[in-house]
């Protein structure tokens, strides 16, 4: 897919509202800085194009993208973000060539096996959402071990969306609602958005405040469709392997300049 022409890396064409963002005490610089969003979600796009531009195999792009994940997690911790969700493997990724799927799952297995202890020392709790049944037994076991080993950590919840699709999430929730109504454990007249949300894979997580997509593409690609109803969206031209702390800060700055109204009239 071609890159959509847009602003320079780390920028967007979003309008800036006239109201100033909320601030908290500065972190180490003595000044006031915008309060960070509580939950940031990322669509990490551009690994393949990054590798192609350098004459490298796609696997090299995925490896470089894994390093960008490490930088992103560190930036989120430093900025005080409490929840970070990464679209690490979409349900549509299974349509890629067998070799690329094997590369992606091998990389996932490696990081789940060798990097969890490091994340745990940083106070990171790992949560995984998606249809893990499509992965092999080894990957499923590593995923469970990662969740169990980090369950007590509270500094940052790192949510990995693996074999995840937003439509599939809504569909499985609808099926569970239908079963609960059929079994007499749910009165359909009581069903509202909040109750429906308890059937989603993200029932224990807050909705994202900010969704960032890299590579210049401007769409959600089946990511957190229900949960992103009022999320702020930031699209960056930067390819994911090049994503760093400065890009993360730029996206948070854009978020701080937006006025979130949730359907209400703007403040005057």
User: What average pLDDT does this structure show over 93-104?
Assistant: 94
Residue 22's pLDDT is what? 42
> What b/e sequence results for 210-244 when a residue is b if at least 16 CB atoms lie within 10 Å of its CB, and e otherwise?
bbbbbbbbeebebbbebbbeebbbbbbbbbbbbbb
Binding site feature residues for substrate: 46-50, 58, 62, 90-92, 94, 96, 213, 219-221
Among the listed residues 245, 243, 246, 221, the one whose alpha carbon sits nearest the alpha carbon of residue 233: 221
The confidence band for 262, taking pLDDT boundaries of 50, 70 and 90, is confident
User: What average pLDDT does this structure show over 5-17?
Assistant: 35
- Domains of the chain, by residue range, sit at 41-255
Among the listed residues 227, 233, 219, the one whose alpha carbon sits nearest the alpha carbon of residue 15: 233
3-state secondary structure 55-102: CCCHHHHHHHHHHHHHHHHHHHHHHCCCEEEEEEEEHHHHHCCHHHHH
pLDDT score of 10 more than 70: no
Give the residue with greater pLDDT, 18 vs 254.
Answer: 254
Half-sphere exposure of 249 (CA within 13 A, CB side): 9
Residue 268's pLDDT is what? 57
Residue 260's pLDDT is what? 80
Active site residues per annotation: 45, 93
* Arithmetic mean of pLDDT over the chain: 88
Binding site feature residues for Mg(2+): 45, 232
What is the Cα–Cα distance from 129 to 182, expressed in whole angstroms?
A: 26
What is the Cα–Cα distance from 188 to 181, expressed in whole angstroms?
A: 6
Full-model pTM:
0.85
The token pair that represents 87 in the structure block: 């679209």
Binding site feature residues: 45-50, 58, 62, 90-92, 94, 96, 213, 219-221, 232
In the chain, % of residues over pLDDT 90:
83
Give the residue with greater pLDDT, 33 vs 114.
Answer: 114
pLDDT score of 94 more than 60: yes
Residue 51's pLDDT is what? 97
Give the residue with greater pLDDT, 267 vs 240.
Answer: 240
The token pair that represents 181 in the structure block: 């109504």
Tens of pLDDT along 149-199? 999 999 999 999 999 999 999 999 999 999 999 999 999 999 999 999 999
User: What average pLDDT does this structure show over 67-86?
Assistant: 97
The token pair that represents 183 in the structure block: 């079994």
Among 9-23, 46-60, 62-76, the range scoring the smallest mean pLDDT is: 9-23
Domain at 41-255: CATH code: 3.40.1180.10
What is the Cα–Cα distance from 257 to 13, expressed in whole angstroms?
A: 12
Tokens 């400065």 correspond to what residue?
Answer: 246
Tens of pLDDT along 188-247? 999 999 999 999 999 999 999 999 999 999 999 999 999 999 999 999 999 999 999 999
In the chain, % of residues over pLDDT 70:
85
Residue 259's pLDDT is what? 85
């Amino acid at each position: 897919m071609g890159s959509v022409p847009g602003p320079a890396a780390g920028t967007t064409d979003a309008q800036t509202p006239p109201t100033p963002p909320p601030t908290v005490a500065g972190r180490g610089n003595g000044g006031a800085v915008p309060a960070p969003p509580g939950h940031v979600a990322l669509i990490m796009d551009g690994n393949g194009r990054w590798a192609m531009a350098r004459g490298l195999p796609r696997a090299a792009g995925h490896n470089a993208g894994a390093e960008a994940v490490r930088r992103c997690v560190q930036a989120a911790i430093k900025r005080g973000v409490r929840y970070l969700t990464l679209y690490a493997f979409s349900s549509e990724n299974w349509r890629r060539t067998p070799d690329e799927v094997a590369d992606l799952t091998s990389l996932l297995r490696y990081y789940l096996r060798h990097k969890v202890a490091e994340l745990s020392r940083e106070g990171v709790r790992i949560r995984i959402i998606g249809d893990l049944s499509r992965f092999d037994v080894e990957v499923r076991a590593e995923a469970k071990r990662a969740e169990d080993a980090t369950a007590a950590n509270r500094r940052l919840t790192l949510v990995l969306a693996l074999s995840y699709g937003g439509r599939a999430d809504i569909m499985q929730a609808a099926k569970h609602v239908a079963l609960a109504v059929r079994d007499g454990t749910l009165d359909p007249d009581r069903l509202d958005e909040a109750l429906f949300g308890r059937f989603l894979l993200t029932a224990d997580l807050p909705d994202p405040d900010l969704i960032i997509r890299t590579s210049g593409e401007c769409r959600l690609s089946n990511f957190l469709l229900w949960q992103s109803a009022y999320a702020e969206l930031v699209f960056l031209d930067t390819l994911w392997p090049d994503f760093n702390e400065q890009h993360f800060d730029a996206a948070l700055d854009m978020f701080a300049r937006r006025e979130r109204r949730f359907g209400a009239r703007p403040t005057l």
